[in-house]
Amino acid sequence: MNLIKTLKTGIFGLLTIFFLVHCSDNSYLQDGGTSNPHYDGTVLDYLNSRPDYFTKLVEIIHLTGMEDVFTDSTITFFAPTDYSIDKSLTFLNSYLYHAGNDTVSDLSQISADVWKNYLTLYLIHDKYLLKDIPQMDTTAMNVYGGQAYVSYNGRPMNIGVVYHDENGVKYAGYRQLFYSYIYDFTTNDLINAHVATSDIQPTNGVVHVLRFYDHYFGFNVNNFYNDAVSAGIKNKDGETNNDD
């Protein structure tokens, strides 16, 4: 009986450690903020400190030659994780494969101009914390529409804070930041990206990490595919293929 009790205690202890580590590793992909929002380093330093989520994103920054923006400029960065980048690459590769073309196995196969065009959608000049952003209600955009901000891409993007309901009380629940691609300016048709963790504050701005499982890098994955193919995708021999 003592042996069984000891084994149960040991198994419980191992499970406890596993769940603590698991929750710790993934906690900042859940809705909410961080216990200590300040990071002693630049935005690029912060991204480099999380290779479990931003390895490909950092590689894209280097491919586009935008390191100075992420180290010297004051920015608000809505950071897509590698999972979102992989989702767009999977979509792209599926079409390339069925067209009989080489698929992308290295990010450098895609034009740096294409990467830059989409990376800059996620960048806003100056520093905006959640508390600085107007309210947004996706069911009442004429009343609470958030606010348009011009991205580094030059395209206006919508930023808003959604006030969730709690116990039947409207707007009394937790607040969640949305970063939105304005798909149709005439109808306010938006492609919303949900922020999983907001207000991470490196020394030169703020990082809001986007929820990964329902976001495609570039927002509109069809546009990403078309632009990548139109610019030409290098094959494994380094030759550019412009064919669809």
Residue 12: its pLDDT value, please?
39
Residue 186 above 70 pLDDT?
A: no
Tokens 């590769």 correspond to: 93
Burial class (CB in 10 A: 0-12, 13-18, 19+), 59: middle
Residue 118 above 80 pLDDT?
A: yes
Residue 107 above 60 pLDDT?
A: yes
Q: Taking a C-beta distance cutoff of 8 angstroms, is the pair 64, 115 a contact?
A: yes
pLDDT band at 5 (very low <50, low <70, confident <90, very high): very low
Tens of pLDDT, residues 164-179: 888 888 887 889 999 9
Q: Is 63 helix (H, G, I), strand (E, B) or coil?
A: helix
Residue 15 above 60 pLDDT?
A: no
Alpha-carbon distance 101 to 243, whole Å? 8
Residues 6+ positions from 13 with CB-CB distance below 8 Å: none
- Residue 103 burial (CB count, 10 A): 16
Residue 20 above 60 pLDDT?
A: no
Alpha-carbon distance 180 to 192, whole Å? 4
Which tokens belong to 21? 């580590």
* Global pTM value: 0.83
Q: Taking a C-beta distance cutoff of 8 angstroms, is the pair 141, 99 a contact?
A: no
Residue 172: its pLDDT value, please?
78
Least confident of 76-80, 101-105, 109-113, 182-186: 182-186
Least confident of 82-91, 132-141, 192-201, 219-228: 132-141
- Positive or negative: CA dihedral 198, 125, 122, 67: negative
Q: Is 155 helix (H, G, I), strand (E, B) or coil?
A: coil
